[in-house]
Amino acid sequence: MEALLSLAFDNIASKDAQKIRKGLRQIEGMLAQICLSSGKSKPSTPSHRRNASAINLGEQQQSSPKKLGALAEDPAFREFFRLQEGFEWNVATRVADCLERLLGMTSSKDGQNDLLILSSLSNMQGLLLLHPPSRTLFGREVYMNLILDLLDPYNCPAIQSAALLVLVSALLGSPQNTRTFEHMDGLLTVTTLFKDEETTQSVKLKLLEFLYFYLMPEAPTPAASAPNAAQRAPSKLAGAFDRRSSTINGEDGGSGAKKNVRTQEEKQHLLARYLNNVEALVEDLQEAAPFTSVVR
C-alpha cells in the first residue's frame, strides 16, 4: 500500500493535469478496493452463454459496499487506517494540498480543472469518513479557508455542492472545526451563497440541509476512533493538531474540548446575524430530527 500511495502522491503533486488525474484515480481506486467487495456475476445458462457474456460484462465488474462491521475487520482497511495515523502517508493532507494547487491554476476552457477539483473533493469526502482523525486538518484556518473558497459564487454548482459535502464531513463530530468554520466567517459565506439569486435551486437545497446540520446539538468525537480504538493510542496526526490548538488557546486537551462545544441556542444566535427566521429552522429540526442516526 505504501508503494501505491507514494506513486499517487508523486502524481497529485505534479503540475501536469494528466498526472494529477492519474494520481486521484489511484487514490479513488484504493479507497474503492477497501470499501467494496467483489461482485459475483450470475452464471449464464449454456444456451445463452454468448449473449449473457456480452450483456453482463459490466455486471461482472460491479461491486457491492462492505458492511461497516465487516470493514472494521478488513486487513486492508486496518492497514490503511494505520498508515493514516502519521503525516508521511496521510492522504487527506496530500489531497488538500493538491486542491490548493488546483485553485491556483488557470482554469481551462474545456473544464478539465473543474473536473480535477471535483475528483479531489470526492476523494476528500471519502477520506474524512474513512479516517475521522484526518478531520483535524480542517481545524486549521488555511484548510478551512480552502473549502470556503470553493463556495464562492463564481464556482460551478457541482463544485459548490461537492464542497458542501466535504464541509459536512469535516465538521461531523468536530466542534473545534466548527469553531474554526465560524471564525473564518463560514456562516457568512454559506448564507451569502444561499441568498444569491444566481445560486441554483439544487445548491440552495444542499445549503439548507447544511444549515440544519449546523444547528444540530454538538458532541465531540473521541480522539481514538479506529477499530478497537480502546486498545490503541490516539492518532498521532490528531494529537499533533490538538496540541497545537491547545497551545494557541492556552487550554488543556480535556477542558478545551468541552469549551469548544456550543449549544443549539448559541449557534442559532450566530446564524441569526446572517439569516432571518432561524427560529423556524430550529423548530423544523426539533420536529423532524434529521441526521439523528448519522450523528449518533
Residue 261 CB partners (closer than 8 Å, separation 6+): 175, 218, 219, 220
Give the least confident one: 208-212, 230-234, 267-271, 292-296. 230-234
Residue 153 three-state SS: coil
Angle of helix 91-104 relative to helix 141-149, nearest 10 degrees, comes to: 50
84-111 pLDDT tens trace? 888 889 999 999 999 999 998 877 777 8
pLDDT score at 172: 93
Give the least confident one: 2-11, 173-182, 188-197, 285-294. 285-294
What average pLDDT is seen over the chain?
Answer: 80
Domains in the chain, please, with CATH?
97-295 (1.25.10)
Measured in whole angstroms, the distance separating CA 40 from the mean position of its chain's CA atoms is 30
**Closest CA relative to residue 6, chosen from 21, 22, 28, 23:** 23
pTM passes above 0.75: yes
CA gap 127, 120 in Å, rounded: 10
DSSP element (H, E) containing 66? none
CA gap 68, 74 in Å, rounded: 10
Residue appearing with cell numbers 482497511: 77
47-89 pLDDT tens trace? 444 444 443 434 444 567 776 667 777 788 888 888 888 888 9
CA gap 10, 83 in Å, rounded: 17
Measured in whole angstroms, the distance separating CA 131 from the mean position of its chain's CA atoms is 10
Give the least confident one: 101-105, 237-241, 256-260. 237-241
Residue 24 CB partners (closer than 8 Å, separation 6+): 8, 11, 12, 95, 98, 116, 119, 120, 123
Residue 291 three-state SS: coil
